[in-house]
Each structure stands twice: as C-alpha cells, then as structure tokens.
Structure 1
Amino acid sequence: MARRSRAPVSWPAEFWPDAGREGVALQQNRQWPESHSEETDILPRVDARQAQPDPNATEQIQHVPYEGPTQQFSAMGQSGDLGGGAPPHGAPGGEGQQAAGPQRWRKPGIIAAAVFGFLVLLYGLDLLITSGDIPRGVTVAGVDVGGMSDSEAEDVLREEIEPRLTQPVAYSAGEVSGELNPKESGLTLDWDATLEQAGDQPLNPFTRIASFFTTTELGVVTQTEPNQFDNAMKALRKNIDQKPVEGDVVFEGAQPKAVEPKQGQQLQLDQAREAILTHWASGERLSLPVTSTPVTVPMEQVEKAMREVAQPAMSGPVIVHGEGADGVLEPEEIAKGLSFEAKNGSLVPKIDQKKIVEGVKAELASTEKEGKDATIVFQGDKPTVEPSEDGNKIKWDETLRPLLDVLKKTEGRELTATYEKKPAEITTEEAENLGIKEVIGEWTTGGFAPDSGVNIRVVAEEVNGAIVQPGETFSLNEHTGPRTKAEGYVEAGIIKNGAPGKAVGGGISQFATTLYNAYYFAGMKDAGHQEHSYYISRYPKGREATVFQDTDGSSVIDLKFTNDSEHGVAIQTIWTPSDITVRLWGTKRYEVKSETGDETNHVQPSEQEGPKENCQPSNGAPGFTITDTRILKDIETGQEVRREERTVKYNPQPKIVCTKKD
C-alpha cells in the first residue's frame, strides 16, 4: 500500500508522566502515521518481549531510561490504556516496545475534522443553492411551499387556498360540531402578509440542518370586519356553550324518570378566535377549545332519590282529613307538586305548596269559611250595618309540613288539616259604634256625556259603602286600583294639553270633584288634591279636583282626605244618567261655609292648531286667579274654629283651530 508523507505529531506530555526532559525529547522526535493504513503497515502490534530494534527501519526508537514510579504505566498497559496495548518504548512495564496510544487519539480527531469539513461544504452549497427562497419544511395553511421562490409559493398558495375562502369552515368544540360562514363572519385573507411571514432561508447552520427533518406550519394572516366577526363569535358561543345538566328526577304523569347528569362546556373565546383567524383557510376541520363545566350531582345520588323518595311517593294516594270532609291527593297530583333540587352534591326533594293545594282544595272547600268585615249599606237612604263574619281557613303551611315524610312511606299515607279562625277586621260591634248616623257632607254634579257617565257609574259603585276609620286616609286611586277596560271602564272624553281627546276612564275627574266637595263640607282634612289646569264651567271656581293614572295603573294625580274625627265615616254614592251625588255619613262636627273671591289676573287665550285626527274646534277661555276660603264653625257652639284659604291659578284654555284636509 502506498504511503503518504507524514508530518510529525506531538503526543501530549500527560502520556509521559514523570519522564522529564528525556521523555519530552523522545516525544518531540517521534513521528506517527497519518492514517489507519499506515499505522497498520508501519507499526504492527508485537509482543514487547520479542520486539528488537530494526537497523533498517526509517526511524529508530531511542531508549530513554525511566527512573520514576512504574505503577501508573503498568496500569495503563494492563487494563485497557489509551494505546490499547503496551506502553511506549522506555515506559515502565514495556521497555523497548513501540507506543500505540497516540494513534488511537488521532483517529477520532481526523474523522471529526473530515465530518466537520463535509458539513461546512454542504452548508455552503445549500446556502448558495437556496439563497432567496422560502425555508425548507414551511407549510402555509397545510400547503407545502418550502424551498420555493416567492413567486412560485404565491402561485401554489393561490391555487390551493383561494377555493377554500368561500367554503364553510367546519369546526368541532367538545360535543358540538358546526360550520362557520367566512363571508358572513367578515373573514378575508391578507395575501401579502401571509406570504411575507414565511421569511427567507435562515443563516443558522443548525436551523438549516434541522429543516431537512422538521416541518413548520404557518397559518394565514387574516383581515376581519370587526362587527361581523364579533357577532359571529357570539353566535358561535351561543351554539357551543352548554350548561351542565344536573342529575334529576322528573315525572311523566305518575311515573318517575331518572335524568342522567351531563357536564356542560364553555368556549374558550380568546383561544378560539386565534384558532379561527390562523387556520380557517386550511380546509380542515378546526378543533376549538372548550372548558368543561362539571355537574354536582352524581348518578348514584339520582338513584338514591329515586329509591328513597320518588318511587314511594307514587305508590298510592294521600288522604287529607278536614273538618267534616276529606280530600284525596292522587299520585298524578302529588307528581305536579313534587320536584328535586341539586344541593351540596345530592338531590333534595321540594314541595310546591300551591300545586299540592290545587289537588285537594276543592274537596275541602266546604270545610272552610271566608271571613267578612262589617259594612255599611244604604237602605231607604239610611245607613245600616251589615254584620261581619269570622273566617275559618286551613293553614296549609302546617297541614303540609309532614307531607315529605308521608310520601316516603308506602302505608299510613294520611294528613290532618289544621284550621285557623280569622276574625273580621271590622266587626259588627265596631261598625255599630263608629257613630255613622247622619249626613255630614254632600255634593252633586251633572251634565256629563253618556260615555263619561259609564265610567262615573263604575267608580261610584266601587266607592259606595266604603268606611273610613278614625285617623285613616282615603285614597281614590288606591281604593279603585287600575281603571281599565277589564274593570268595566270605557273610552271617554278628556282634556290633554288644552285640547279635547279620549282615553279609557275619561270622566272620572267629575266624580273626584263631587267627592272633594262632599268631604270639603263634611269638614274632613284635605290630604292632597289637584285642580284642573284650566277652569271647567260646571265646577265651582277653586273647588274642584282631577285624578290621573299611568297606563300601568300607577297613580299620578290622586285625591285623598283624612278622617280626623273621633267617629267613622261612610261614603254613599247615588248615580243617575244625568248626575252623580256623593254623601258622607258620620257624626256632624262643623257647619262649613265657602267664600269665593273675585277673579284676578286674567290672561287671554292663544290660538293653536288642533290634532289632525278627530279635531274639535273650540273658542277657548281666559285664564284667571281666584281664592276660596273654607270657614268651619263648631256645630254645638257656633263658634268659628278656623279658616282655610286656597288660591288657584287657572291657565287660559287655548282656542283650537282645525285645518281642513285637502
């Protein structure tokens, strides 16, 4: 085998321990082969005992005496030293032998250098060939564009991705699957940014080498219409989010059914947005992240509720014993009033008292009695006391308290009703002692239209017979409640913003004015009233009132008086198609007189155009200010008790002009 020239190679001094300068000299003069083939040819392994200096050899190994310790080299020669055999010539334990250790260290270095050189060459060639191209292993929306030029990558991407941009985007989120419409969701592709994100070939050699074995997926860069995308995400969340279904027991008729618990889920909104924006054009089904919402009631608790409550509850009827009659709760009626609530990891039975009572109330109705307050009725224009009646009512709270325990049994399913005596709030004796014996105030008004008359009749019937206890305040709006069609009121004339109009309950203000004057002359304490904004000629000046309710029946303008006497007051109403009279009965205290002053501060009316529909022209009326004085004198002594002045300012009633339609 041909031999290559060899350069001298130094063997590290650490392989010559304690050799001193003689060992160093030998090291420096020693030459070693450059390759494994030369090593085999030139330095064959021989037994140290047979090796003899060769006078014809190219080099001679000079014997260097060794005077230091021999243990270290002996160990190396006997137990796998670096040379793989005997120590060098002159070393302890192998005097006169050729040294093989440095050859073994030389081989890995040469191999490493060769590999490194090859990789450097490969890196340079790869850098030269792929300069300016997209890095290897890069995919965009699942399309492989690694190693392509920018123009090639754009062509490939457009060909592969553009058809996907109008197709529905399939997704799955936990147990829910669906599709997202890109156009309706405001999703469009930013081509320039999508291509730019692929980048250029990396200079890092390790990154370039790794690219031969790895793949880097780059999603698309998306542009969105914010409102459309936000609405799409809201719709997505509405479709995906599911509340947990707790374990439960329900009833189908009288048959209990177990409801298996099922955990809910909730869309992780931020992560889902990112997944959609990055991968919606991939053409693959998107997996959107959700978080699970656990249930609190396991199936074993459902089975326990079925076994211990639901099934025994449906085993038969429950008898409710009343005073003189019994009621029977059939299983179907029990099922309507029995339910279960998830609480602290278990199912707790609940009783709907109202539904249970519905099942047995009719059968026990004869055992109950409604209470009735004593009332004042007017027979022959004289007040008469209609006696009170005490009530006898079942206390359902107490009666049904043991029901759950009874339902858990299959025998002895009985309850006993508990009753409560309910005395009347106004007894017959109390009514007779109220001192309601004579008329203490009365007033009559008339001249109303037929539709207004209907409403006045309805409100008069509701107020007739009302009793106002000593110290109590009577409110017209509270007493009647909402005045709607359901209560018998009809549309009738009103005044709105100075112009005639119509509304349900119109005309009630005339009844309010009549009632006001009745308690005015009865000497009752005014607790709040309001006059009309302009004067109506059929009412006394400064002595009239209006009332008004909102569309929901709530009070806006009310009429109130307080019974500040020691005796009760009863209200009597007398209606005819042409007038309304209100009388207050009680014990008379005062003689009441009204003094009305002169009109002052007159203001002439303005002209305004009436409504386009149902316009009714009017001449209007001037506004003015007036003062009324109520004078109260003691009925027994005739002495004046007090004077009460009230000044009222009426606005001018505008002149309404109706424009003719073309």
Structure 2
Amino acid sequence: MAPRILGTDADDPHGDVEGGQLPQDRQWPESDAERTDVFPPARGELLDSSGPQFDAGATQHMPAVGQRFDAGATQQFDAAATQRFAPQRPDADAPTEQVEGVVPVPAPRAEDDDPGAARRRSLRKAAIIGGAALGVLVVVYGADLLISSGDVPRGVTVAGVDVGGMSRSDAEAELRQKLEPRLTQPVKYQAGDVAESFNPAEAGLKLDWPTTLDNAGDQPLNPFTRLASFFTTREVGVATHAEPQKLAGAMEDVRQAVDRDPMEGTIRFEEGQPIPVDPKQGQKLDVDGAMQAILTQWAGEQAVQLPVAVTPVRSTPEAVRAALEQFAKPAVSGLVLVRGEGKDAVLQPPQIGAALTFEVDEAGQLKPKIDNAKIVEAAGPQLASTEKEGKDAQIVFEGGRPTVQPSEDGKKINWDPSLAPLPEVLLRTENREVKALYENKPAKVTTEDANKYGVKEVIGEFTTKGFASDSGVNIRVVAQKVNGAFVKPGETFSLNGFTGPRTKAQGYVEAGVISDGAPGREVGGGISQFATTLYNAYYFAGMKDAGHKEHSYYISRYPVAREATVFQNHAGASVIDLKFTNDSDTGVAIQTIWSPSSITVKLWGTKRYNVESVTGERHNFTEPQEKAGPTENCQPSNGAQGFTASDTRILRDLSGREVRREPRNVRYNPQPKITCP
C-alpha cells in the first residue's frame, strides 16, 4: 500500500487530498492553524533499534492539517508504534531537519497546557511541600520539647553567664563557678559622673541560687518562642538575700559619695596662679532605684548603673576659659600700688588672687568680683601710719570728781571709693595703681555731747568689805576695767559684756567660790562681791534693774535679798549676768575705788530720786542636810539654815513724793553640812 502524503497541494492550497476538500476555518472551530505554526517539527530518537519497526500504515490515518477529522482512522492508530520514540526536550539550538515532502504537524493540545490546571498543580505541590515541612517541624518541636524538659530555657544568661539549655543542677554549678569569685570583690557602680565601689559583704549581700534559677522560668511551650531562643538571649537578674541594716548603711555611704549640689564653673588661685574649675551639674541619688539596681546587678561583670536626678548648671567650660584669658590672667600679671598720703601699699599677685572670685550671671558668663575686705586686709596695715584714730569724749575721774576728756576727730581711708577703679586697673599691663581717698571721722561722743550729759554729781554708791587676798586681786582687775564706763540715756550696761571673758589671760587668778554648797576654787573667784557692790550702787541711783540673780546660799557680808552674783563658763561665755538700764535723760558714769580690804562703786549723773531699802523679816526656815565632801582638799563646814526674805525699794522724787515701790522676794537654800572622809 502506497504511503499517504501528509500535506496540501502546492499550487492549490484547497486542492484535493485523497479526493477530499479542505474545510474552511469557520467550519472547524477547533482548528487553529496559526497556533500550530509555532510548533517545530517533532524530533525523536529511537529507543531501541531492535524493537518493532515504524508502522507507516498507522500514521496514514492521521489527517493532514486542515483535513476533516476521521474518527475511524484514529482507531487504526498503533499506539505501540509510537512508544518506540523516547520523549525529547526541544533543543532550541539544534538545527531543525525538514523531512522532504513532509509538512510539520502541530502537536495536539494536552490538558497540561490549560492555565487552570497549572495553578492547581502548583497548589498541590505547595500543599505537599508545606505539609511535609510542617510534619518535620512537629517532629523537631516534639523532640526539642522532650529533650529539653525540665531544663533552664534556652538563651538565658544570669549576670552575663550563659546557662540556657542546662539542667538546673548544671546551671547552679556553672553559676557558682563563674560568679562566686566575684562575690568577694568590690562592687563597682556608676552614678552620674561618680565611679566608686563598695564591699558586698559589708552591704550584707548574698546570692540566692535556687530563686535565681526560678526567675529564669520553665521551658516555653510556644513553638515560636522556642525557635526564637536559638537566636536571642534573655538576661535574668540575680536573686539576692540582703541584710536590711547593712544594705541601708552601704546605700547611705553611696548617697554621700554621689549627692552634691550643682557647682558652677569658677577660677581659683594658688600662689597667685589662676586655675580654671569646670562646672559640675548637681546630682542626687535615687536611693530606691539604686537599691533595686544593686540587688539585681551587683554580681555582674559590669559596673552597676545607678539612677540619679540631675540639676543643670548655667556655666560652661568655654565660659570658664573665656574668663580665665580675659580677666584672671591679666589680673595677677603684676603688682598693684595703692597710693597713700606719704606712703604706698603694694598688692602682690597672691594677695590679688585671694580677693578675686567669680559669679555666674543669667547668661552663663563668669563675672569677676573683688572682695574689698581682703584688699584692705593686705593694704591697710601698710597705710596705717597715714591714718589717725579718733577719740570719743570720755568721763574721767580726776581728784575724785568726773571731768570731760575732749574728743578728737580721726582721719581714715574710705576704702570702697578708693578701690572702685581696681577692676579696670587689673586689666592693665602698665600704670597699675589706685589712689587712697581719705575722710574725716568725727568722734561718736563729742566734747559738747559729754558736757550735755549732766554728769555732775553722785547719784548712787555702795561699799563692801572683807575679801581674801586672791579674791581681792580679781576684784581689783574688774574694778579697773569698769572704772570710767559711761552709759548713755536709754543704754543697758552688762557686766559680763563689758569685761568680756575673765580668764588668766586677762589677769584673773584662782580664788574661792561656793559650788553646790561646798567651798571650791575657780579662776575669777570673788567677782560676785564686785557684782553685789555695783548692784547696790545702781539700786540706790534709781536705775532700772535689767536682770540679776542672788546667790543660792546666803553670804553674811552681803545685804539680805539685795545682792547679786555673776558667772561665766570656762570658755568665757556668760551664764549669769548683771545688767541695768539708764532710764534717765542724762548720762551715767561709773567710778570704782578699790583698796586691799574694800571696794566702792559710785554712779555719777543727775540725781532724780531718793531711794530707801526696806528689808523684810526672815521666815520659812529649812535645816541644812549632811553632805559628804570630796576626797581631796575637803573643807568641812557646819552648814547654815535656808530661809525666805524680802526687800522693797522705795523711790521718792527730790520733793519727797513717793514715786513707786518695788518689792522682791528671795529664797535662800540651806547650806549643807560638809563632812570629810
């Protein structure tokens, strides 16, 4: 049987093929000649040359392109014959062989070429892969969970020590090995700009190992958390056992080291050389926050960062450097002269530097300030001979009567205006000098004032006798000090204030005193006799009592309920004082007359009153108690009764009219009976 040729007549595209007409495209909607044209001729390779031979007859039933489909012909297709060719991938680079006389046949459209089918295949493939991956993950997750059950979670670190994935016992052993050496070392901390350390043992700090591992938690069940633990770490703070009192003490030490007030920048001087001091912001430790940080981080390798509250400053290091160059250095670059009348004072750079300070203004700039008092301290003694001290008019006693010693005006340097140009002078390199400006200093009490005070007659006086020689020394010293004292109208005279400390440096000696009812000795003993004499003098002068205190025990040489004592401690501070106020319109001068056996005090002024003293009867007696004396220098005594008494001062004007009465009740304690061992 002759082979059929697949193709068309070259001269007539619609010619007879086996006597049949080619249908038009519209008659065969399924036909797509344009699409089949893009398919290259199929190439094949025989799988087995010894296999069945190609059956040409089977292919004769395949219709040519455009030929009517013959179902019957396809039934004669020998499928077995087509299996002799192995499927081949088209080789785009290989030349296409055209079999002579054979027209290329388009490949039939397979189901796989449908886009929907391709998507379904992709989805099925993805589902298979995803399911497989999920299965693998489930298996891995289960294995990881099983293997890690009961261990410290993966990725956990404690004070920088990696214990993740370990068993609790191994983790505790690892922590003890790595951390215990640190527990005896000083704990470093950083608080603001303060870097210090403290002893953990002194702070009462100890590690609680089980609780620390409890804080790490259990193995997480969340698979994503477990997966993340392969790539991340989680720091767990140490659990600390602390002794509260020790920790509080350590925190107080830390607070004292950290806390400070803000310090503005300044410039200080050392031996005349300026040294810049940069500003420091203030800081205050957050004690609660710092304690928490120490409890959780003290065992770590890094310094514990402690929280502080910061107070800013206005100045800057740049402002300090500007003041240094623009003022401080020029100011101490040379000497400064203070020109006085007939004499000059020299200010050396160290003296200038000692008087210079700097203040920070609102803009943060350093402004120089000169302490004039320190300049005067340096220059004043050099110019003292150019000044003259003034003298107030004084009441002095000559021939037993008061006279006025004339006043003298003084001449002093007025330092504030004299030093006003100094800031500008300090910036100079030449002509560094200022001029001392003098002014007259009138006396506070002029001769005319003293004559107007009316000091012309004795207005009150009193004398006491009978004192030991050592007490007499002290009475003489204080009498010389008080003699000539002048009390202006309205002023108050204080005996302790006028004499100042009464110590050996002022010429006082040890003398007898009564202490707790027993005889003793103190420097300045016997002064109370002078106080009693002065009290009675101003009592009879009609002066206003401004405060006094009687002795605790009655002393027979003094008037009952009309006497006084004074006392200073060993440092010279006043404890019991004697004071009176001049409530008259004229001045009062005090005159003292001392002899080895007596002391007299007179008050001079203008007489206002005639004064009478009325002493009441003693009553309310109490018996002395026996008291053991000291083991050394004991002086026995029989003691004396205690009692109550009164005194009334009656003041009458010069016409004899009673002005007022001033009663006073006094209670004297019984003087104990001293027995010696």
Counterpart in the other structure of 1:375: 394
Query: Are 2:405 and 1:386 aligned?
Result: yes
Q: Kindly tell me: are residues 592 and 199 of structure 1, through their superposed partners in 2, closer, same or farther at Cα, counting changes over 3 Å? A: closer
The answer to which of 269-278 and 388-397 deviates more is: 269-278
Q: Which amino acid aligns with 2:517?
A: G
Given that 1:625 and 1:647 are in contact with CA atoms closer than 8 Å, whether structure 2 keeps it comes out as no
Q: Deviations over 1:486-526 (max 9, x none)?
A: 44444443334433344443322211110111222333343
- Partner of residue 328 from structure 1, selected from 330, 334, 346: 346
Query: Are 2:339 and 1:339 aligned?
Result: no
Q: Kindly tell me: are residues 303 and 570 of structure 1, through their superposed partners in 2, closer, same or farther at Cα, counting changes over 3 Å? A: same
- Partner of residue 492 from structure 2, selected from 473, 477, 482: 473
Given that 2:652 and 2:660 are in contact with CA atoms closer than 8 Å, whether structure 1 keeps it comes out as no
Give the SS at the match of 1:442.
strand
Looking at structure 2, the residues matched to 97 and 515 of structure 1 have their Cα atoms a distance apart, in angstroms, of 133
Q: Which amino acid aligns with 2:305?
A: L
Q: CA deviation at 1:647?
A: 4.0
Q: Kindly tell me: are residues 262 and 539 of structure 1, through their superposed partners in 2, closer, same or farther at Cα, counting changes over 3 Å? A: closer
- Partner of residue 626 from structure 1, selected from 611, 622, 645: 645
- Partner of residue 402 from structure 1, selected from 413, 421, 424: 421
Q: Which amino acid aligns with 1:362?
A: P
Q: Kindly tell me: are residues 391 and 88 of structure 1, through their superposed partners in 2, closer, same or farther at Cα, counting changes over 3 Å? A: farther
Q: CA deviation at 1:201?
A: 1.7
Counterpart in the other structure of 2:303: 286
Looking at structure 1, the residues matched to 78 and 323 of structure 2 have their Cα atoms a distance apart, in angstroms, of 104
Query: Are 2:663 and 1:646 aligned?
Result: yes
Give the SS at the match of 2:639.
coil
Looking at structure 2, the residues matched to 57 and 329 of structure 1 have their Cα atoms a distance apart, in angstroms, of 132
Q: Deviations over 1:170-199 (max 9, x none)?
A: 455666555432211211122331232233
Q: CA deviation at 1:646?
A: 2.6
Q: Which amino acid aligns with 1:654?
A: Q
Counterpart in the other structure of 1:236: 254
Q: Which amino acid aligns with 1:276?
A: I
Given that 1:88 and 1:100 are in contact with CA atoms closer than 8 Å, whether structure 2 keeps it comes out as no
Q: Which amino acid aligns with 1:653?
A: P
- What TM-score does the superposition give when structure 1 sets the normalisation length? 0.77
Q: CA deviation at 1:360?
A: 1.9
Looking at structure 1, the residues matched to 619 and 290 of structure 2 have their Cα atoms a distance apart, in angstroms, of 77
Give the SS at the match of 1:581.
strand
Counterpart in the other structure of 1:199: 217
Counterpart in the other structure of 1:31: none
Give the SS at the match of 1:99.
helix
Looking at structure 1, the residues matched to 78 and 675 of structure 2 have their Cα atoms a distance apart, in angstroms, of 142
Counterpart in the other structure of 1:655: 672
Alignment of 1:259-274 (within 5 A): 259=277, 269-274=287-292
Give the SS at the match of 1:202.
coil
Q: Kindly tell me: are residues 507 and 116 of structure 1, through their superposed partners in 2, closer, same or farther at Cα, counting changes over 3 Å? A: same
Looking at structure 2, the residues matched to 248 and 556 of structure 1 have their Cα atoms a distance apart, in angstroms, of 45
Given that 2:152 and 2:213 are in contact with CA atoms closer than 8 Å, whether structure 1 keeps it comes out as no
Query: Are 2:562 and 1:538 aligned?
Result: no
Looking at structure 2, the residues matched to 268 and 589 of structure 1 have their Cα atoms a distance apart, in angstroms, of 72
Q: Kindly tell me: are residues 200 and 620 of structure 1, through their superposed partners in 2, closer, same or farther at Cα, counting changes over 3 Å? A: same
In structure 2, runs of 5+ residues without a counterpart are: 1-64, 80-107
Given that 1:452 and 1:508 are in contact with CA atoms closer than 8 Å, whether structure 2 keeps it comes out as yes
Q: Deviations over 1:621-657 (max 9, x none)?
A: 112233334445555x5x3434635343333423233
Counterpart in the other structure of 1:507: 526
Looking at structure 2, the residues matched to 641 and 395 of structure 1 have their Cα atoms a distance apart, in angstroms, of 54
Q: CA deviation at 1:341?
A: 2.6
Q: Deviations over 1:509-549 (max 9, x none)?
A: 21111011122233334343332233110101122112334
- Aligned residue pairs total 577
Q: Which amino acid aligns with 2:389?
A: E
Q: Which amino acid aligns with 1:141?
A: A
Q: Which amino acid aligns with 1:100?
A: A
The answer to which of 167-176 and 528-537 deviates more is: 167-176
In structure 1, runs of 5+ residues without a counterpart are: 1-48, 59-85
- Percent identity between matched residues is 60
Q: Kindly tell me: are residues 451 and 224 of structure 1, through their superposed partners in 2, closer, same or farther at Cα, counting changes over 3 Å? A: farther
Q: CA deviation at 1:426?
A: 1.8
Give the SS at the match of 2:325.
helix
Given that 2:551 and 2:668 are in contact with CA atoms closer than 8 Å, whether structure 1 keeps it comes out as no
Given that 2:392 and 2:444 are in contact with CA atoms closer than 8 Å, whether structure 1 keeps it comes out as yes
Query: Are 2:348 and 1:360 aligned?
Result: no
Give the SS at the match of 1:100.
helix
Q: Kindly tell me: are residues 454 and 107 of structure 1, through their superposed partners in 2, closer, same or farther at Cα, counting changes over 3 Å? A: farther
Q: Deviations over 1:342-375 (max 9, x none)?
A: 3331111110111111222133223322121111
Given that 2:637 and 2:675 are in contact with CA atoms closer than 8 Å, whether structure 1 keeps it comes out as no
Q: Which amino acid aligns with 1:288?
A: Q
Counterpart in the other structure of 2:97: none
Looking at structure 1, the residues matched to 146 and 484 of structure 2 have their Cα atoms a distance apart, in angstroms, of 111
Counterpart in the other structure of 1:577: 596
Looking at structure 2, the residues matched to 97 and 478 of structure 1 have their Cα atoms a distance apart, in angstroms, of 120
Alignment of 1:29-108 (within 5 A): 99-108=117-126
Alignment of 1:151-230 (within 5 A): 151-171=169-189, 177-230=195-248
Looking at structure 1, the residues matched to 638 and 219 of structure 2 have their Cα atoms a distance apart, in angstroms, of 95
Q: Deviations over 1:245-265 (max 9, x none)?
A: 654333344444444556676
Q: CA deviation at 1:122?
A: 1.7
Looking at structure 2, the residues matched to 558 and 643 of structure 1 have their Cα atoms a distance apart, in angstroms, of 26
Q: CA deviation at 1:241?
A: 5.7
Counterpart in the other structure of 1:311: 329
Choose 1 or 2 for highest CA Rg: 2
Counterpart in the other structure of 2:578: 559
Query: Are 2:514 and 1:495 aligned?
Result: yes
Root mean square deviation of aligned Cα:
3.6
Query: Are 2:273 and 1:251 aligned?
Result: no
Q: Kindly tell me: are residues 227 and 449 of structure 1, through their superposed partners in 2, closer, same or farther at Cα, counting changes over 3 Å? A: farther
Q: CA deviation at 1:221?
A: 0.9
- What TM-score does the superposition give when structure 2 sets the normalisation length? 0.76
Looking at structure 2, the residues matched to 504 and 251 of structure 1 have their Cα atoms a distance apart, in angstroms, of 46
Give the SS at the match of 1:288.
strand
Counterpart in the other structure of 1:517: 536
Given that 2:343 and 2:386 are in contact with CA atoms closer than 8 Å, whether structure 1 keeps it comes out as yes
Q: CA deviation at 1:572?
A: 0.8
Give the SS at the match of 1:105.
helix
Counterpart in the other structure of 1:444: 463
Given that 1:87 and 1:100 are in contact with CA atoms closer than 8 Å, whether structure 2 keeps it comes out as no
